[in-house]
Amino acid sequence: MNFRTYLLRRTLHIIPVLFGLSILIFVVSRVIPGDPVRLALGLEATGEQVEQLRRQMGLDRPLVAQYLAYFAGAVRGDFGYSLRTHRNVAQDLLDFFPATLELTSVAMLISVVVGVPLGILAAVRKDQGPDHVSRIVALIGVALPRFWLAILLQLALAYQLRLLPTIGRGPAPPVHVTGLFLVDSLVALRLDAFWTSLKYLAMPAFALSVGTLAQVMRLIRAGMIEEMRRDYALAARSYGLPPNLIIYKYLLKNAFTATLTILGLSYGFLLGNAFLVEAVFAWPGLAFYGVDALRYKDFNGVIAVTIVIGAAYALVNLATDILYGYVDPRVRYE
């Protein structure tokens, strides 16, 4: 099987996964107790008025008919009416998803850019000062709740030192292409807007990244130590190859496989679980929206968020699988 066939097959696998997920979340959202229509209309609405809206939304139809109607709409990009925001959920997704995507992507970037060098340093200086420091940093990073770290960062960097903005995403760039402020700023060739967006992103992205960063650091360290003990590493050293060449060209690539798995899983996880960080920094993201929808039983919102997060999870994992082949040539697309 060549790469193209593999890619096509894996992409097609995503369809039944999402289909199953949509059925599951649709049924769960309909059977959990509570009447979202009454909540949406105001608690004083009469039974007749509640019934009328229920009819308008098709909630009086059998569950299967409701699902088929929902599915047909979703395929066309219509995720139904939000009882919370009083507009189509698709519009909500367009507004909220880019913020979370940007936040999570930058958090993952920080995890890699900071975590990998620190992991290498800890491995190269095993059981020396840098290794001990990295161990403590990793422990704190994994153990510290993200939202608590977020509050501490906010108090220190925004309230006391006034280096960074306290909350929000900052002003939107002059052009709207992707909804990702960093990208849109560059598209508009506005470095000032890019810098401003970066300042708003710095604290939430760092707070979100810390757990993954710590994991990456430890995994790279463990992988590097293992690779450094192998014969090929010894041979390279005995040939007198420069240490940096050995580390970055040969050892790191081989040590990266386990880290790649964690990065793939974390990316998907953070997309749906950034809520607490988003809440602290008033970041208008999808997790924020999803939790709000859940609290008010806005079931169309809940279903759409679940499907989007599910799709993102599936795509990130597909990308990870493809990257395995690049990192480890022994992996075959079969």
Partner 1 sequence: MSRWRVPAIVAAAAVVLAVGTTAAPVLSQSQEVSFTYIEQQIITSIDPQAAVDESSLHSAINLYDPLVYPNVEQGTMSPRPHVAESWTVAPDGKRYTFNIRHGIKFHSGRELTAEDVAWSMDRQLQIKKGFFWIFSPVLDPGSTKVIDRYTVRFDLKDSYAPFLSGLELFFIMDKDLITANLKPGPFGDLGDYGAALLETKDAGSGPYRMERWERATEMVLTAFPDYWRGWKPGQITKVSYKIVLEEATVKTLLRSKEADMVNQWLSPPSFAELKQSPGIVVKEDPSVQLFHLEMNTKKPPLDNLKVRQAIAYAFDYDKAIQQIFIGATKAKGPVPVRVPGWNPQVPVYGHNVTKAKQLLAEAGYKPGDLTLEYVWVSSVPLERLIGLLLQSNLQEIGVKLDITGELWPHVLERATKAETTPHITAIFDTLKYPHIDSHTYGMYHPSCWGTFRCMSFYENAAATQVLEKARRAADPKEQMKLYEEAQVMIARDVPSIYVANPLHRIAFRDNVKGYRFVGLVGFDVAFYDFTIVR
Which of residues 44 and 231 has its CB atom nearest to partner 1 in the complex? 44
How far are the Cα atoms of 18, 210, 266, 278, 319 from residue 270, in angstroms, in the given order? 19, 11, 6, 11, 16
Cα–Cα distance measured from residue 302 to residue 293, given in angstroms and rounded to the nearest whole number: 6
Closer to partner 1 at the Cβ: 41 or 323?
41
Residues 6+ away with beta carbon under 8 Å from 245 = none
Nearer residue to partner 1 within complex by CB, 204 or 268: 204
Q: Give the shortest CB-82-to-partner 1 separation in angstroms.
A: 9
Integer CA distances (angstroms), 288 to 20, 39, 225, 230, in order: 25, 19, 40, 47
In the complex with partner 1, the residue whose CB is nearer, 174 or 242, is 174
CA atoms within 13 A of residue 186's CA, in its CB half-sphere: 5
Shorter beta-carbon distance to partner 1: residue 10 or 54? 54
CB of 281 to partner 1, least distance (A): 7
Contact positions vs partner 1 (CB under 8 A): 32-36, 38-39, 41-47, 49, 52-53, 56, 84-87, 92, 95-96, 147, 151, 154-155, 158-159, 166-169, 279-282, 284, 288-289, 292, 297
> Nearest distance from residue 40's CB to partner 1, in Å?
9
CB 66, min distance to partner 1, A: 18
- Give min distance, CB of 279 to partner 1, in A: 4
- Is residue 215 classed exposed, middle or buried when 0-12, 13-18 and 19+ CB atoms within 10 A define those classes? buried
Secondary structure element (H or E) that encloses residue 272, with its range = helix 257-273
Token pair of 331, please? Answer: 């992996």
